[in-house]
A and B are shown apart, each in its own frame.
Chain A
Amino acid sequence: MSAKERVGKLEALLARIQANASAPRGATMTAIPTVPPSAEAREALRSESSEFEAATEQEHAVVPEPEESRARLVAAGPTVEVEFEEEEVLELDERNVVSAVEVTEMAVAAAPAKEEEAPPSSRRPIAEPAESPQEAELPIATAAPLTPPPESGKQVASESLSFDDDFTGVRESAARLQSAPPPEPSIALESLREPTPPPPPDELEADLAPPPPIFSREPEPEVEVVRGDETRPPPAPFVLPRTEKPAAPKPEVTRPTTPVAASDVATLAGSVPTFEPRNFGDLLDATLSL
């Protein structure tokens, strides 16, 4: 690079710095390296930008601010200017520039939160107060003030809403469970708890042993067949229809050989009462009794 190009580049850099300085801002935006670069990083930077080592003019490292993070940086408070020694002044290119957003976020993470009274229902620990005035003056502390979580109000659970206990893990207390009436079993559960008795086995059903394996070398177990009552007659054998006329059957006749005695078969007990009036008076009494 020639000297002329070098001078032009420096002038462009100076113009850009002046333009940034004259920009209408509430505060000077300056990137603040919170952690100085390490020795190795400085050596690397030095080797990469050795051409800028001859620069004698001290410059403030200005990091251009993105437009979208402007509001956060405005709220960040006063800037801190750090002066570096001449030999440590390096001109950084785009790779070495850390955006203001990242810096701001890092500052917010490292800064103590503003002391604020925590609501009674909040479990989030509130940041402890700053121990030193320098710590309290850090822009990080005011860059993004922590807001306490909203106080949780009491909501009455709706009776109509129901949640699955197994899913939510929230279960009712034992007292409420004891006071509550026992739930009626649903139809499906009831059917499971009270199974219908199996139908009586059919007469033809038999409890057969499981079939033996096909290629088993063990002797086959004796099959025990359980049958019901032998109420049904065995099936009639199949009879072929006769084609020839059968001969007339001849019955075997057995006749009585012992004669039956006819005497004293019936016994007459007494006799039929007859009315024999002895005189006219008896007949008159009999007819008047009718």
Chain B
Amino acid sequence: MASSVDLSNAVRFDLPNGTVHLSDNEKGLLVPASVLASLLKTTPPDVRGQIGRDLGAHLGRAMARRVGGAPALLDGGLELAASTLAAELALAGLGTCALERWGRALVVQITGSPIEETDFVASVVEGALAAATGRSLACTALSDAGGVRILVASESGALRVRGWIEQGVSWSDALVRLQAGGGS
């Protein structure tokens, strides 16, 4: 049975000074989700993606720090990785997650996110896993039905799957075609 994630002293409010300190003693800000959503809608996609990766990197560094570093996270089981990622997403108010394995493909399912922009959520997951593991990876949204499914793959793999989905191929067939080694 996996142990619970210790989130003690994760956020510290300095009410006399009116500041919020995060786990790494970095100041934070509490804003409504709708404001962030409105901000993301008015920003270009590349900027939106960069904002999501920066937010996800903050979450990933917290994950690695909690588990004792990236190698511990990599050597740990899927449950540890899933629990740690889910704890950080919950602490940021971005919902919860689950890890799915479709053959050799890793899919992260995000549920309960106040942000509807799937590409932004995918960018947050990409940044978090990249920062937690220290690997270069890419994520792309597969679907938004029953939560947001995000494929974790290499940059070329994520690009091909994104192209197939834009052509009308279902996300499940895209995963099968990706593991079969199909080209673009």
B28 close to chain A: CB less than 8 A: no
A262 at the interface (CB under 8 A from B): no
Question: Which A247-290 residues have a C-beta within 8 angstroms of B?
Answer: 275, 277, 279-281, 283-284, 286-290
Q: B91 in the interface, Cβ–Cβ < 8 Å?
A: no
Q: Is the CB of B104 within 8 A of A289?
A: yes
Given known contacts A284-B135, A290-B153, A290-B178, is B75 in contact with A275 (CB within 8 Å)? no
**Which A89-119 residues sit within 8 Å CB-CB of chain B?**
none
Instruction: List chain A residues, Cβ under 8 A from B178.
Output: 290
B37: interface (CB < 8 Å): no
- Quick check: A287 and B80 within 8 Å, CB to CB? no
A290 touches B101 (CB 8 A): no
Q: In whole Å, how far is B101's beta carbon from the nearest beta carbon of chain A?
A: 6
Q: Shortest beta-carbon distance, A181 to chain B, in Å?
A: 73
Contacts of B153 in A (CB 8 A): 287-288, 290
Select from chain A the residue with minimum beta-carbon distance to B138: A288
B66: min CB distance to chain A, Å: 14
CB-contact partner of A288 in B75, B78, B135, under 8 A: B135
Q: Could you say which residues of chain A place their CB within 8 Å of the CB of B105?
A: 286-287, 290
Contact of B76 among A280, A286, A288, A290 (CB under 8 A): A280
**B contact residues around A286 at 8 Å (CB):** 104-106
Interface residues as binary, B116-133 with A (CB distance below 8 Å gives 1, 0 otherwise): 000000000000010001
Contacting pair B152 A279 (CB below 8 A): no
Main secondary structure of the interface of A (DSSP, over half): helix
For B80, list chain A residues within 8 Å (CB): 280
Number of residues from B at the complex interface, CB < 8 A: 25
Query: How many A residues face the partner with a CB closer than 8 A?
Result: 12
* B60 interface residue per 8 A CB criterion: no
Query: When the two chains form their complex, are residues B106 and A283 in contact, meaning their CB atoms are under 8 A apart?
Result: yes
Give min CB distance, B94 to chain A, whole Å.
Answer: 20
C-alpha gap A268/B74 in the complex (Å): 36
Q: How far does the Cβ of A255 sit from chain B's closest Cβ, in whole Å?
A: 49
Smallest CB–CB gap between A287 and chain B, Å? Answer: 4
Contact in complex: A275, B73 (CB < 8 Å)? no
- Residue of chain A at shortest CB distance from B129: A284
Instruction: Tell me if B49 counts as interface (CB < 8 A to partner A).
Output: no
CB distance from B46 to the nearest CB of A (A): 23
User: Within 8 Å CB of A284, what residues of B?
Assistant: 74, 106, 129, 133, 135, 137, 152
Q: Which residue on chain B has the smallest CB distance to residue A274?
A: B103
Q: Does B146 contact A (CB under 8 A)?
A: no
B52 within 8 A of A: no
Q: Taking the nearest CB of chain B, how far is it from the CB of A90, in angstroms?
A: 152
| A289–B78 touching, CB < 8 Å | no
Assembly CA distance A283 to B151 (angstroms): 12
Q: List 16 A-B contacts (CB under 8 A).
A: A275-B103, A275-B104, A277-B78, A279-B77, A279-B78, A280-B80, A281-B73, A281-B74, A283-B99, A284-B74, A284-B106, A284-B129, A284-B135, A284-B152, A286-B105, A287-B151
Rank and list the top 3 A-B pairs by shortest CB-CB distance, nearest first.
A281-B74, A287-B106, A280-B81
